[in-house]
Amino acid sequence: MINRYAPKDMAALFSDVHRFDTMLEVEILAAEGLAELGVLPANEVAQLRLRRPVVDAAFVAEVDEREAVTNHDTAAFVDVVQSRIGMPEGAWVHYGLTSSDVVDTALCVTLTRAMDIVIDEATKFRDALSVRARESIDWPITGRTHGMHAEPTTYGAKFALFALQVERDLVRARAARTGIAVGKLSGAVGTFSNIDPAVEAYVCARLGLSPVPATQVIARDRHAEVLYACAALGTTMEQFALEVRHLARTEVGEAQEPFAAGQKGSSAMPHKRNPILSERLCGLARVLRGYLATGLENVALWHERDISHSSVERIVLPDALQLCVYMLRKATSLASGLVLFPQRALENLEVTSLGLVYSQSVLLALVESGLARDEAYRIVQSAARRSVEEGRAFRRVVEEDPAVTLDEAALDRVFDAQRMVAHRGRFTDALNW
């Protein structure tokens, strides 16, 4: 991931230092598990932890140098570890294991920790949306379908629906976290031919993982589920950001991204306050969905394994998780700092729309007065057309229509935005986490 979109804590989690350090812990735990079974000499295995090499930039460089000879990164890693620990104790490193035992289990440790961060950040995003929902649940705004004025809703209803969607994403993310918190140390094709299943249980228990049946590799539908959780969150953030972009348009003017002191909206036009963060979130969501597609491609492997997934995962898993956390933090900031213009929203609702958002209410009132629905529909449709063509308030046109027999009190009730959003509390009542 390029530095621009790589949060430092997530970048560290996917660094070579962290990767090799986690692999080393798997190796030592496996040897300790074998020693507990009496397969390896306990006194020599104890030296592995006492002489555990420090994994730093120099260690990584040494593995890279060795890989130039072995053309196998895990073999190079084992060679360097054994060399630094020394013999005879170093001989017990990687005893009875195949590369995927170490690499896959270590990767699952990292992905589990990464998902913990994703879940934490998604929770913050959900909660920020919830705060804004409760704050603005009583503020009317024009609801739009097909991009056209429809009927009144409220700002708070919009925020609440986004928060509820994030909550569903959290359910998916927690499931993905459970699905990836697994390990395997079952040998070349997963049959425990050279290692006891008790070793797998020992290592997984100490890493916070669950042992699972596997071929030579852990099934990749688990990794695809992680990518789906990230892509789903990205799509929710995109939906929220797209709404902000639409409401921020000059002719709408119902919301605006926070604008910091000294910020410039355009290099050429000083008046501009462009929704750049929302646009960035919309663009990056496409990248997350692309990573999901490659993750799904990785599920089908030849027989007990091939390595067609490996090169892909080195890119998409770190990038997707870093990008997801970056986006979540930005989306939370956007939700918390979004500037709302309820007075402009009210003007758009009552004036810009000419009051046409009340057309269904007029229709129903006419039906209640005794007209057939189709007849009432034609009367309202004609009045709406005249309102637009003449640029006059819809209520005035309706009042002048001899076919409309509604009195003033009935019309007041019909053209009342508060009546139409009287049940708005149902949105915030649903925010019950």
Catalytic, 99? Answer no
Q: Which of 146, 271, 303, 423 is catalytic?
A: 146
Quick check: helix, strand or coil at residue 264? coil
- As given in the structure block, the two tokens for residue 118 are 């994703």
Report CA-CA distances (Å) from 145 to 150, 153, 405: 6, 12, 30
Q: Which residues, including other chains, have CB under 8 Å from residue 87's CB and lie 6 or more apart?
A: none
Q: Which of 83, 266, 369, 382 is catalytic?
A: 266
- Paired strand residues for 153: 141
d(CA 230, CA 324): 6
Q: Identify residue 297 by its one-letter amino acid code.
A: E
Instruction: Give the DSSP letter string of 118-143.
Output: HHHHHHHHHHHHHHHHHHHTT-EEEE
Report CA-CA distances (Å) from 399 to 115, 289, 351, 379, 387: 60, 52, 17, 12, 12
Cα angle 69, 100, 96; round to 5: 90
Quick check: helix, strand or coil at residue 149? strand
Q: Using alpha carbons only, how large is the chain's radius of gyration in Å? A: 30
Catalytic, 333? Answer no
Report CA-CA distances (Å) from 345 to 112, 155, 342, 388: 44, 9, 5, 20
Would you say 3 and 319 are in contact if contact means Cβ atoms under 8 Å apart? no
What is the 8-class DSSP label of residue 351? I
Nearest Cα residue to 170 out of 119, 205, 241: 119
d(CA 307, CA 301): 8
Q: Which residues, including other chains, have CB under 8 Å from residue 77's CB and lie 6 or more apart?
A: 20, 23, 63
Would you say 156 and 424 are in contact if contact means Cβ atoms under 8 Å apart? yes
- As given in the structure block, the two tokens for residue 156 are 């708070």
Q: Which residues, including other chains, have CB under 8 Å from residue 135's CB and lie 6 or more apart?
A: 156
Q: What residues act catalytically?
A: 146, 266
